Structure 1
Amino acid sequence: MSTVSSAPSAAPPSGQAPGRWRQLVADWSSDRQAFQVSWGKAMMWIFLLSDTFIFSCFLTGYMTVRISSTVPWPNPSLVFSLKIGTAEVPLLLIAIMTFVLISSSGTMAMAVNFAYRRDRVRAAILMLVTAGFGVTFVSMQVFEWSKLILQEGVRPWGNPMGAAQFGSTFFMITGFHGLHVSAGVIYLVTVAVRLLRGRYEKSGNYQIVEIAGLYWHFVDLVWVFIFALFYLW
């Protein structure tokens, strides 16, 4: 009886396994092959996702506290009214704040457009205009806080107009959002100054403007939810 002996399989060429490892490392270390986007944009998206969870928890907690409160919640139209002459205009300041912040999204989008056209001067100017809108928004928010604290007597632990939780949730959420706007203003001014100095002219990569725009649009979007839940509900 003839026996069939199986020939040993050929050993892989030396260096083939290390070559595969090198390719794997190259794939994951390359911003194009691993995520199809740059690392900077990917990290910004991850940061914004984590920030979305935080704001969602804050707003969900606010809605839960407001629904379960046994004490009447203050009327936003009365709390956030602005006196013009002898008339009390409800939500006037809040409407202006919202208009300013939404307008800043338009100037930021224009800045991104000019940046990808490598018009760094116009892009930088529009970023500074966007930062100016941000400063205006924060300034009006400071005025709003001062009015509530000094004139209305609202405190984080209570207020004379209704439920004690109103002050704590309002100052926490709007303050956290205002902190994001202030950080965004610093971020935009820093990038704009670098644009004017030609920091990205040699490489021709102006994606940092788009990354800053992602952050700013996120801040604007969060304000839409705060505006709807705090001032319109």
Structure 2
Amino acid sequence: MAHAATTHSHSHEAHESHESLKVLGFWIFIITDILIFGTLFACYAVLHTHTNNGPGAKELFEMKGVIIETFILLTSSFTSGLAMLAMHKKNVKQLIAWLIVTALLGAAFIGMEVTEFVKMVNEGHTIASNAFLSSFFTLVGTHGLHVSIGLVWMIALMIQVSRRGVTEVTTRKLTNLGLYWHFLDVIWIFVFTVVYLMGVM
């Protein structure tokens, strides 16, 4: 009996250290991501004036759409927070409902971003046009790609939670997803300020 208890406590400890390793891994991922975005922002800061006599930020950016995009993403951050609250209450239905709302807002954000990109490309302003557009598409596109990855991750977790409920493992995964989503929100505020606001000023 004592042996079984020891084995159980060992396996529990191993599980806990495995879980904390995964949390650590997630934070390392976030830090490397901050470095990637930091590099892209630095490139943009250097290259945004290199328009090769083409139109610059003032001529190309439509602030109305960007403000709507920003509002949508900030709202999705709020709804992901509500999903986390439902998770702590172990209310699976509410949790999935808020995740669906968050995912729909995220998808709307991506839809608007893709539309903006397509419109620019159709007008002849492509990633290859000049250094300004290369740095713009790379920075904003990398953020958009991260949001898309977040959406896939969110859908996968919704399926997992609907099957398994709120467990220790799904709680960790959802917490990481929540942090990731807020992180993308913070990055977008920088994009909005540095690229769009300062661009049209």
In the superposition, the TM-score normalised over structure 1's length comes to 0.73
Confirm or deny: 8 A CA contact 2:82 2:98 kept in the other structure: yes
Structure 1 residues 62, 186: CA separation in 2 closer, same or farther (over 3 Å shift)?
Answer: same
- SS of 2:83's equivalent in the other structure is helix
User: How do 1:1-233 residues align onto structure 2 when only pairs under 5 Å count?
Assistant: 31=16, 38-66=20-48, 69=50, 74-81=55-62, 91-151=63-123, 153-158=124-129, 164-197=130-163, 199-201=164-166, 206-233=171-198
Distance in 1, matches of 2:33 and 2:122, equals: 31
Counterpart-to-counterpart distance in 1, 2:51 and 2:172: 51
Distance 1:166 1:79 in 2: 11
Q: Is the 8 A contact 1:76 1:231 kept in 2?
A: yes
CA contact (8 A) 2:160 2:170 kept: no
Shift of 1:206: 2.1
> Aligned pair in 2 of structure 1 residues 60, 30: CA closer, same or farther (>3 Å)?
same
Letter in 1 for 2:126: R
Unaligned runs of 5+ in 1: 1-25, 82-90, 159-163
Aligned in 2, Cα 1:222/1:93: closer, same or farther, shift over 3 Å?
A: same
Higher share in helix = 2
Give the conservation status (yes or no) of the 8 Å contact 2:77–2:185.
yes
In 1, Cα distance between the equivalents of 2:115 and 2:170?
A: 40
| CA distance in structure 2 between the partners assigned to 1:180 and 1:205 by the alignment | 21
The higher-RCO structure (CA 8 Å, 6+ apart) is 2
Query: What's the offset of the Cα at 1:230?
Result: 1.0
How far apart in 2 are the matches of 1:214 and 1:136? 20
Offset, 1:149: 0.8
Pairs aligned (count): 188
Structure 1 residue matching 2:48: 3-state secondary structure:
helix
CA spacing shift, 1:155–1:105, aligned 2, 3 Å: same
What RMSD over aligned residues (CA atoms) do the two structures have, in Å?
A: 2.6
Give me the whole-angstrom Cα distance separating, in 2, the residues matched to 1:194 and 1:98.
29
Task: Name the aligned partner's letter for residue 97 of structure 1.
Answer: E
Offset of residue 58 of structure 1: 0.7
Q: Give the structure-2-normalised TM-score.
A: 0.83
Deviation, structure 1 residue 201: 4.5
